[in-house]
Amino acid sequence: MELITHSMYINTAIQLNAVYKKVCRVERGCSCSVFIIEPKCCCVGQSVTEIPGNLTVYVRRLLLYNVGISHIRENAFGRYQHLEEIVIEESDSLQSINADAFGSLYNLGKLSVSGCKNLKEVTGILLINNTRILTL
- C-beta separation of 108 from 133 below 8 A: yes
Q: Please tell me whether residue 17 adopts helix, strand or coil conformation.
A: coil
Q: What is the pLDDT confidence band of residue 132, given thresholds at 50, 70 and 90?
A: low
53-96: per-residue pLDDT in tens?
999 999 999 999 999 999 999 999 999 999 999 999 999 999 99
Output the pLDDT for position 19.
46
- Taken in order of first residue, the domains within the chain and their CATH numbers are 6-123 (3.80.10.10)
Question: Measuring CA to CA, how many Å separate 38 from each of 34, 51, 52, 55, 66?
Answer: 7, 20, 19, 14, 23
Output the pLDDT for position 29.
82
Q: What percent of the chain has pLDDT over 70?
A: 70
